[in-house]
């Protein structure tokens, strides 16, 4: 029951927040421009089915998924930090929410924003793809297994990015600064940390690969989901006389992902709980 | 007659921010039905104390009970019986007054009718659809009061409710508070506006630099002792003589006057005593003791040797 109440409250707060709406619409606009091109090509070129289902999943679930992830995390930072800078978090607790309920509402909101942005992006792409798909000609499953696991993996990556954004928001409490810290972390701070640890010796490789962003991004690495892609990667590595890429496998990936989610969400909670509002 | 209940009880409540002691072992209690004024200069620890009662600031040490709750247990249930605002009104600026109250109503599990009633009480019905950021300060304070009374709380905590308001706004807020008290609510309000507190409150506690200096009924402390105003050419000499008068409890200078608190209102005796010492007063009259007098005496106690006036 409390979850329903928290969601209603967040819907009132977020649904009329201009910054959130703008980031959502901007992402939807970008998605439209991204998917219009393959749609137009497929429509114009006879016999081209690259953007028809089920092949379209390859384009829908490609690296461009970083766009909704990026915009979604910016939206999370905007809506979360605002609660602290304008002290409405304090007022919510004064009005009767416990600190735990308030934190739960922010966590739910962060996850829902991830789902909303990913869902919108995929819905726009899928609409274009559906428009050029002859569904009667689909031979085999509409959503192949490798695409289904990739979809789950992307969702895992998105939720991981969202958890980092939430952690940064609670720590920094200022939207501009939080965005800066989050962008710096995902773009180079973690790489720098990894590089610094690597310099300590070969034994550290096992640690570096499990840093949070690497773990989250691994969930949507195509070689984990598509055996053909993995075979290609092995072939390429061997042609370059390099070590073949490592496959984590689902159990390792899930364990590492879950651990980091617990650390980030749990850490955010401890941080929030301890702090005076 | 309704039975009184202790709704707030603090015991050596303390909050320390690194080297700063914001609240220093304060103990006080508020009974049901009281309009309790929490008086103190800016930065004296009023907001921190209320913040601890509301669960947004963690006490460094000490305990408190709300509605007789066991202090070792969570106060969340007890807090649901409280309506409160802290410092300035904290609402979502891009939402209307109505939408802001919808959020509060969801938290307090109240419906649309309660929102309408609260808006009506504070006189904001006509502007309920306007964005909060377009409200004047008085309207923001009234919306904060509407949020506070939403859910029919038993205890209302208000932190500087008249802060920044013009006299008309202060009068409106005062009337709303008195109406709520007449409705059976217990009111706890912090303020540094002494005249407002005197007009509104039945009981006061005075806090300075985190320490509780006094707690008593307003009538009790303003009727206690006898305050006398004196004037002479050499006011410093007059003060030193008055201090020697046996009935003098304390003295202080205010504008061109010397104010003396006597435990025996023997004005003729005082006049005689002063004149025998070679000083002739140009003015000598008993002055009604206001809350401001008490506040000044208590908070300046160290400087002028004021004792406990309770």
Read out DSSP for chain B?
-PPP-EEEEEEEEEEEETTEEEEEEE--EEETT-EEEEE--TTSSHHHHHHHHHTSS--SEEEEEETT--TTS--HHHHTTEEEE-SS----TTSBHHHHHHHHHHHTT--HHHHHHHHHHHT-GGGTTSBGGGS-HHHHHHHHHHHHHTT--SEEEEESTTTT--HHHHHHHHHHHHHHHHTT-EEEEEES-HHHHHHH-SEEEEEETTEEEEEEEHHHHHHSSEEEEEE-SSHHHHHHHHHHSTTEEEEEEETTEEEEEESS--HHHHHHHHHHTT---SEEEEEPPPHHHHHHHHHTHHHHT-----
Whole-number Å distance between alpha carbons of A264 and B31: 44
pLDDT at position B199, please?
A: 84
Position B303 pLDDT exceeds 50: no
Query: Highest-confidence range of A37-51, A157-171, B71-85, by mean pLDDT?
Result: A157-171
pLDDT band at A155 (very low <50, low <70, confident <90, very high): very high
pLDDT at position A141, please?
A: 87
pLDDT at position B2, please?
A: 56
pLDDT at position B56, please?
A: 87
∠ CA(B274), CA(B275), CA(B278), 5° rounding? 100
Nearest CA in chain B to A100: B76
| pLDDT tens-digit map of B235-260 | 999 999 999 999 888 888 887 889 88
Measure CB to CB from residue B56 to each of A12, A86, A277 and give the nearest one.
A277
| pLDDT tens-digit map of B62-92 | 999 998 887 667 677 888 889 998 877 889 9
Once rounded to an integer, what is the mean pLDDT over residues B204-231? 86
- In the predicted model, what is the mean pLDDT of chain A? 89
Answer whether B79 sits within 8 Å of A277, measured CB to CB: no
pLDDT at position A86, please?
A: 67
Chain A residue numbers touching B107 (CB-CB < 8 A)? 5, 9, 92, 95-97
Sorted by where each begins, the domain ranges of chain A are 2-274
Hey, what are B300's tokens?
């300046």
Chain A residue numbers touching B99 (CB-CB < 8 A)? 12, 16
Helix (H, G, I), strand (E, B) or coil at A199: coil
| pLDDT tens-digit map of A60-92 | 998 888 899 999 999 999 999 988 776 888 888
pLDDT band at B308 (very low <50, low <70, confident <90, very high): very low
Position A131 pLDDT exceeds 60: yes
ipTM: 0.84
Chain B residues contacting A, CB < 8 Å? 51, 54-58, 74, 76, 79-80, 84-86, 90-95, 99, 102-104, 106-109, 147, 151
- Better-predicted residue by pLDDT, B127 or B151: B127
Partners of B72 in beta bridges: none
Is B298:B194 a contact under the CB 8 Å cutoff?
no
Measure CB to CB from residue A94 to each of B54, B93, B103 and give the nearest one.
B54
Position A47 pLDDT exceeds 80: no
Nearest CA in chain A to B79: A96
Once rounded to an integer, what is the mean pLDDT over residues A179-208? 87
Residue labelled with tokens 């009935």: B247
pLDDT at position A197, please?
A: 87
pLDDT at position B306, please?
A: 31
pLDDT at position B309, please?
A: 31
């Amino acid at each position: 029951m409390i979850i329903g109440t928290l969601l209603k409250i967040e819907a009132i707060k977020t649904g009329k927040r201009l910054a959130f709406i703008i980031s959502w619409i901007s992402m939807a606009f970008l998605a439209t421009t991204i998917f219009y091109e393959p749609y137009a090509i497929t429509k114009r070129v006879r016999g081209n089915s690259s953007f028809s289902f089920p092949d379209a999943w390859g384009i829908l679930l490609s690296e461009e998924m970083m766009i909704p992830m990026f915009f979604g995390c910016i939206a999370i930072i905007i809506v979360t930090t605002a609660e602290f800078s304008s002290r409405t978090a304090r007022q919510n607790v004064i009005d009767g929410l416990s600190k735990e309920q308030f934190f739960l509402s922010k966590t739910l909101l962060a996850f829902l924003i991830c789902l909303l942005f990913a869902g919108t992006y995929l819905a726009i792409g899928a609409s274009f793809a559906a428009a050029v798909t002859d569904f009667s000609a689909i031979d085999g499953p509409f959503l192949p297994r490798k695409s289904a696991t990739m979809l789950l993996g992307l969702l895992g990556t998105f939720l991981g990015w969202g958890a980092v954004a939430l952690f940064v928001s609670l720590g920094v409490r200022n939207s501009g600064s939080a965005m800066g810290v989050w962008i710096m972390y995902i773009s180079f701070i973690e790489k720098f940390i990894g590089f610094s640890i690597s310099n300590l010796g070969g034994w550290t490789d096992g640690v570096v690969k499990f840093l949070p962003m690497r773990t989250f991004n691994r969930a949507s690495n195509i070689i984990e989901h598509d055996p053909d892609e993995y075979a290609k990667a092995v072939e390429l590595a061997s042609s370059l006389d390099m070590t073949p890429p490592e496959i984590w496998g689902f159990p390792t990936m899930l364990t590492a992902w879950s651990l980091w989610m617990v650390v980030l969400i749990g850490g955010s909670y401890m941080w929030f709980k301890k702090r005076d509002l | 007659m309704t039975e009184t209940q202790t709704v707030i009880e603090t015991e050596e409540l303390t909050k320390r921010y690194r080297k700063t002691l914001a609240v220093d072992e304060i103990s006080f209690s508020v009974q049901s039905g009281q309009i309790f004024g929490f008086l103190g200069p800016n930065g004296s620890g009023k907001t921190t104390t209320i913040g601890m009662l509301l669960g947004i600031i963690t006490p460094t040490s000490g305990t408190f009970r709300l509605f007789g709750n066991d202090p070792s247990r969570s106060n969340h249930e007890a807090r649901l019986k409280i309506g409160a605002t802290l410092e300035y009104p904290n609402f979502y600026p891009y939402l209307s007054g109505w939408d802001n109250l919808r959020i509060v109503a969801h938290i307090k599990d109240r419906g649309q009718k309660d929102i309408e009633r609260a808006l009506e009480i504070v006189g904001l019905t006509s502007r309920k659809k306007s964005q909060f950021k377009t409200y004047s300060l008085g309207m923001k304070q009234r919306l904060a009061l509407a949020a506070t009374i939403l859910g029919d709380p038993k205890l209302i905590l208000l932190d500087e409710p008249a802060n920044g308001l013009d006299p008309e706004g202060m009068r409106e807020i005062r009337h709303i508070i008195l109406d709520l008290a007449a409705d059976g609510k217990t009111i706890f309000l912090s303020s540094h506006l002494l005249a407002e507190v005197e007009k509104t409150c039945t009981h006061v506690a005075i806090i300075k630099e985190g320490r509780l200096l006094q707690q008593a009924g307003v009538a009790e402390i303003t009727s206690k002792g006898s305050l006398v105003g004196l004037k002479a050419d050499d006011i410093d000499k007059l003060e030193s003589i008055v201090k020697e008068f046996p009935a003098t409890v304390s003295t202080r200078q205010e504008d061109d006057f010397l104010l003396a608190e006597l435990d025996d209102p023997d004005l003729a005796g005082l006049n005689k005593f002063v004149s025998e010492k070679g000083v002739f007063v140009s003015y000598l009259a008993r002055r009604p003791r206001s809350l401001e007098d008490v506040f000044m005496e208590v908070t300046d106690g160290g400087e002028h040797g004021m004792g406990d006036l309770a």
